[in-house]
Amino acid sequence: MTGVRIAGTGHTHFGQFPERTGRDLFAEASAGAIEGAGVEREDIEALFYGNFMGELAEDQGHQGPLMAEMAGVRAPATRFESACASSGVAVREAVKNIRNGEADAILVGGAERMTNLGTAGATKALSIAADELFEIRAGMNFPGAYALMAQAYFSEYGGDREDLAHIAVKNHENALENESAQYQRAITVEDVLEAPPVAEPLGLYDACPITDGASAMVLVSDDFAEREGIDAPVSITGTGQGSDRMALADREYLARTPAATAAAEEAYADAGIGSDDIEVAEVHDCFTIAEVLAIESLGFFEPGEGIGAARAGETTRDGSIPINLSGGLKAKGHPVGATGTSQIVELASVLSGEHVNSDAVPDARIGLTHNAGGTVASTTVHILEVRS
């Protein structure tokens, strides 16, 4: 089985661009990936593309062939939809296709246009990732869902809003020098605690922003990289995916995310490593509590221990396992269909020494990305390793 290498990456600035079409966002990101890889467009054998709310934001379905056109790629093109994990699942399918010999070079990425919908419209669009009959009709939305999980966590394990605030502060700090990030602005614990409530106990600064953006990468087989003389030091060595019951109320635990644990265990086994080998990670912090649930499910912290990790400095840039050096969804932004690939683009840059925050982990060789959909009813985990 061949290995899979990241040959080139592309990323738009993440932010508020309500007038930019999704197709233009992906055109920019895909051009960066293809040019960065130094791969001829005719050598790309497929496009795997993630997008969540195109029908609602732009009245645009069937985006696979549209985005292939925008990327200048004449190849079979498929859109993947798995809520906020849409491009995570696209990456996973690309990895499997290259490994099994179906293709040597695949363009994979995602895009989302959101801010043209406004805050209420985007909140409504996001809510379709929950159970319409049993959750949305009760008035639950995504801030509300994560607030239910936060309250359940506090009840079961303890912790408070100030613990969560330290996660927001950390991720904003990490994004300060990241030119791709929506917010390059420091915030304080007081800012988070005093922000208006969105869904108690979560406030405005516990939530990631609504974001427009796209990300892309070209994945190639080891043989293709060698044959074409492509310098691709970072490989995807592990992939895993987990699912869970759709509605939060139907889960055994309200303050744990076993789909992420399942995805991580599969990815660790695939890469032949364990959670202790991970030196740096990008996790899906759509809300501050989501980072807590992620780092526990991935095995970095025991259940109940993750809440204090940012406050104790364990997940900050100089901590034992820096989390979200890119700024995470919280500060870098969360154009949902683009997030899964964005995490891998950013982590590959960190590991290859090219990221503004690479100096936080100068010797790191193994990292992990965690991309979650819905209230973590879908999760993908990928392991990245530097292979010289």
Partner 1 sequence: MSEQHDEGYDEWIDAIDRGEGYALECSNGHGSLPPRRLCPECGDADLEKRALPDSGTLDTYTTIHVATPAFTEDAPYTVAIADFGLARLTGQLRGVEDPEVGMRLAVGVEERKTEDEPLLVFRPA
Q: Minimum Å distance from CB 139 to partner 1?
A: 5
Residue 336 makes contact with partner 1 by CB under 8 A: no
Q: Minimum Å distance from CB 111 to partner 1?
A: 23
**β-pair partners for 15:** 212
Of 35-43, 48-56, 243-251, 294-302, the window that binds partner 1 (rule: CB under 8 A) is 243-251
Of 65-73, 182-190, 230-238, 244-252, the window that binds partner 1 (rule: CB under 8 A) is 244-252
Q: Which of residues 185-204 bind partner 1 (CB under 8 A)?
A: 196-202
286 is catalytic: no
The binder of partner 1 chosen from 13, 41, 124, 317 (CB under 8 A): 124
Residue 243 makes contact with partner 1 by CB under 8 A: no
The answer to whether the beta carbons of residues 167 and 288 sit under 8 Å apart is: yes
Residue 141 makes contact with partner 1 by CB under 8 A: yes
Residue 143 makes contact with partner 1 by CB under 8 A: yes
The answer to whether the beta carbons of residues 300 and 275 sit under 8 Å apart is: yes
Q: Minimum Å distance from CB 127 to partner 1?
A: 6
Rg (CA), the chain: 19
CB neighbour class for 272 (10 Å; exposed up to 12, middle 13-18, buried from 19):
exposed
The binder of partner 1 chosen from 59, 120, 229, 362 (CB under 8 A): 120
Nearest CB to partner 1, comparing residues 178 and 378: 378
DSSP H helical ranges for 12-141: 22-37, 54-58, 63-71, 86-99, 118-127
DSSP SS3 for 182: coil
Instruction: Using alpha carbons, select from 170, 178, 175 the residue that is nearest to residue 11.
Output: 178
The answer to whether the beta carbons of residues 205 and 287 sit under 8 Å apart is: no
Tokens read off for 213: 């953006």
Q: Minimum Å distance from CB 54 to partner 1?
A: 19
The answer to whether the beta carbons of residues 280 and 367 sit under 8 Å apart is: yes
Helix (H) or strand (E) holding 237: strand 234-243
Do the bridges between strand 46-50 and strand 105-112 make them parallel or antiparallel, or are there none, so unpaired?
A: parallel
Q: Minimum Å distance from CB 135 to partner 1?
A: 5
84 is catalytic: yes
The binder of partner 1 chosen from 100, 155, 188, 320 (CB under 8 A): 155
Any idea which residues carry the catalytic annotation? 84, 334
Summarize as ranges the residues that interact with partner 1 (CB under 8 A): 119-121, 123-124, 127, 133-141, 143-144, 147-152, 155, 196-202, 245, 247-250, 254
